[in-house]
A and B are shown apart, each in its own frame.
Chain A
């Protein structure tokens, strides 16, 4: 068992401590490390960001986005067959009929369910794990919303679109930034414990790439607080919202006009299937971190396997921006037990600085995330000034003790309680010693294409949250995903309400699209026997796999 840093690492930390008094004085004088120009940003991105290199990517050979180049792990998953293809099932007798079927029980799905229920609709929420098991709970640092006097949705829009390299879907950016103050107000009214000043004013901070302080937080568990409040609220609406846990959707139902008509759910505990007919279907299944592109560690929840992407793509939905993946600059590199786990950007928002093995700053701490990540990779790989761990990983220092010196003793423990505990368990007091960090797979910028009403390219099918692509362009700023999920979750519900009011209903359901897709796969000679969606990752070792003998077990 490991207890804290090794003696060698403690020796290296002395260089961080040696440079700290000077750095502290500079910070107090308002002096910061020079931020990069637009050209410098392009230079470091092109040379060091994983999205900008060819390795580990290939062209997708099937479907609406055929020819686009994506990470291989994703292409494998999309070039696959359904595991219920060819099964005889009477779809005319659904097990459940409902107004709205929400696939995914995280922040986007729950916001959608609450909004639909408030409008009087009946909602089924299907989720493969527990209600609330999602990346939402892991978002630590905050949620953006331009609700302060020197700010407005206009400036929020500029920050989002500049951070996204001007590639963002502008309609989505306008929707998100304009709704943001409404979302903050909604969360406040539901009883979310925002960090506030005594008079009720929100405590707001900068995040990477923001021009105004608009990062709202609840300690360093902002996402967890949002999720538990939304989940708790939904439990007060049991008459309208029925949550089916451990019951992921595995395939969408379509009608003969190509409109979505429901989904097949799989109870993974009893290994049984249910047919759900729904007037509207909303995909809110989150991201794909658990595909571990290029073997990168990830910050994501156990369930982040991109199931909604696969189902929607097989049904013909268009995807967008899938070539763009966000690596969070500060994933834990030490201790081993925490590798890949997120260290919130709030650490840098509070004044924490990044330092190389010499204890020198090498980058402005709040560049947009992709630029910051590329700069860290450059420092370690290009300039060879990273710190090596006993297991051979690389990292740079994140000087958290500086925060206490800037804002007073106890700030780290008070403002970053979850992170403080997480490191303390392994004998590291982040108020006294820096953290070692390295970029980690964090967020899927791309996803299912939607419009500003959360409508996908398939009638009757909506999508919200990380499973969609466009609003963040090629790079998401901190605090905009907690916002995105709630804005478009609510908008999906409002669109479902409007569709029902307009009498837009699905016809008889079928699964013909599975055969069509399988035929196209075979014709393109891409059928490698892969079945999807993945539902859960499989971390079995080679030895365990060998002992499973590749036979159908009599026990499910």
Chain B
């Protein structure tokens, strides 16, 4: 029993090593005080305090949006936001995570494809015109995205700019929770990006023609031949590959041997 990996503390693999003589600080997790060594992220501080996450923890690397967190500091009226996995716990921090928040998502399947991209967005999410321009969403975003800015781009019909401005969105929902106009910004942005990419960005011609060649079965004979080769024969082909130069110009370089293209 003592030897199982489940019974061993698994902190070795994911533990912050507190520097020698680490100072302990007090943080308030949903109002309750806990003593934790300083330098931990909020996420690791909760685990140190004894919480085992079900909700509110995901990639632990700032990209999945599971651990959006609100906090205040003692004696300060300001409401701060951050990702628990990316924000270092500070003495006197009073925090609560927001593992889920109800958001409006419009079903894209019903949208009229004859409409222009910006009209599609307006049809799906007419509430963007209720934006009061308070900027709380932008101040709330843990990814430093100009949320109000991209909503304004979509309102103005600049779908491309809205899509690009919102690109870093991790859909944590913190902006949604704070919007006085009840806009679900993350879903507006999601629709905007997909509409922009699918309908406005030019399609890749090379991808289309290569996919057609695959569908025609063009490469199957060559791949079948490779399957029959000895390891030595494969090694020889591998070592003899021509490497495309790092600084080759897009669509210009071609290998000397074009037989298997």
Residues of A within 8 A of B (CB): 1-2, 30, 32, 38, 72-73, 76-77, 129-130, 132-133, 137-138, 145-155, 157-159, 161-162, 166, 170-171, 174, 177-179, 181-182, 184-185, 188-194, 196-204, 206, 211-213, 218-219, 221, 224, 228-229, 232, 235-238, 246, 268-269, 290-292, 295-299, 301-303, 336-342, 351, 390-393, 417-418, 421-422, 425-426, 441, 528-531, 534, 536-542, 544-545, 547
State how many angstroms separate the Cβ of A452 from the closest Cβ of chain B. 11
State how many angstroms separate the Cβ of B227 from the closest Cβ of chain A. 5
| Contact residue among A32, A171, A302, A421 (Cβ-Cβ distance under 8 Å from B227) | A171
For residue B64, which residue of chain A has the nearest CB? A137
Are B219 and A540 in contact, with the CB atoms below 8 A? no
State how many angstroms separate the Cβ of B214 from the closest Cβ of chain A. 5
Whether A149 touches B226, Cβ cut-off 8 Å, given contacts A232-B194, A292-B14, is: no
For residue A73, which residue of chain B has the nearest CB? B5
Binding-face segment, B71-79, B102-110, B129-137, B177-185: B102-110
Are B59 and A138 in contact, with the CB atoms below 8 A? yes
| Contact residue among B1, B49, B219 (Cβ-Cβ distance under 8 Å from A528) | B1
Give me 19 A-to-B residue pairs in the complex whose CB atoms sit less than 8 angstroms apart, sorted by A's number.
A76-B6, A151-B261, A153-B219, A162-B235, A174-B226, A178-B223, A182-B215, A184-B211, A191-B193, A232-B190, A268-B54, A336-B39, A340-B13, A391-B19, A417-B167, A529-B4, A536-B54, A537-B14, A540-B50
The total of interchain contacts (Cβ-Cβ below 8 angstroms) comes to 311
Whether A302 touches B59, Cβ cut-off 8 Å, given contacts A201-B250, A211-B244, A539-B10, is: yes
| Contact residue among B49, B107, B220, B226 (Cβ-Cβ distance under 8 Å from A170) | B226
Are B60 and A301 in contact, with the CB atoms below 8 A? yes
B1-39: CB near A (< 8 Å → 1, else 0) gives 101111001111111110100000000000000000011
Whether A301 touches B64, Cβ cut-off 8 Å, given contacts A193-B193, A203-B250, is: yes
Residues of B within 8 A of A (CB): 1, 3-6, 9-17, 19, 38-41, 44, 47-50, 52-55, 57-64, 66, 86-88, 90, 105, 107-109, 143-144, 163, 167-168, 170-171, 190-191, 193-199, 201-208, 210-211, 213-215, 219-220, 222-224, 226-227, 231, 234-235, 237-239, 241-248, 250-251, 253-255, 260-261
Task: For the complex, give the distance between the alpha carbons of A389 and B254 in Å.
Answer: 46
| Contact residue among A269, A297, A336, A542 (Cβ-Cβ distance under 8 Å from B54) | A269
Are B58 and A129 in contact, with the CB atoms below 8 A? yes
Whether A219 touches B167, Cβ cut-off 8 Å, given contacts A147-B207, A191-B195, is: yes
State how many angstroms separate the Cβ of A291 from the closest Cβ of chain B. 7
Q: Which of B207, B215, B238, B261 neighbours the largest number of chain A CB atoms within 10 Å of its CB?
A: B207
Chain B neighbourhood of A159, CB < 8 A: 238, 241
Chain A neighbourhood of B50, CB < 8 A: 540-541, 544, 547
Task: For the complex, give the distance between the alpha carbons of A189 and B224 in Å.
Answer: 29
- What 20 new A-B contacts, CB under 8 Å, besides A138-B64, A221-B168? A2-B88, A73-B5, A76-B4, A76-B5, A77-B5, A148-B206, A150-B254, A152-B219, A158-B237, A191-B195, A191-B196, A191-B198, A219-B167, A292-B10, A295-B13, A297-B13, A390-B19, A539-B9, A539-B15, A541-B50
State how many angstroms separate the Cβ of B123 from the closest Cβ of chain A. 15
Whether A211 touches B63, Cβ cut-off 8 Å, given contacts A191-B195, A540-B52, is: no
State how many angstroms separate the Cβ of A433 from the closest Cβ of chain B. 19
Are B250 and A154 in contact, with the CB atoms below 8 A? no
Whether A185 touches B211, Cβ cut-off 8 Å, given contacts A193-B193, A200-B201, A296-B13, is: yes
Are B5 and A291 in contact, with the CB atoms below 8 A? yes
For residue A296, which residue of chain B has the nearest CB? B13
Whether A341 touches B61, Cβ cut-off 8 Å, given contacts A197-B250, A200-B203, is: yes
| Contact residue among A129, A132, A133, A196 (Cβ-Cβ distance under 8 Å from B204) | A196
Task: For the complex, give the distance between the alpha carbons of A170 and B223 in Å.
Answer: 9
State how many angstroms separate the Cβ of A82 from the closest Cβ of chain B. 14
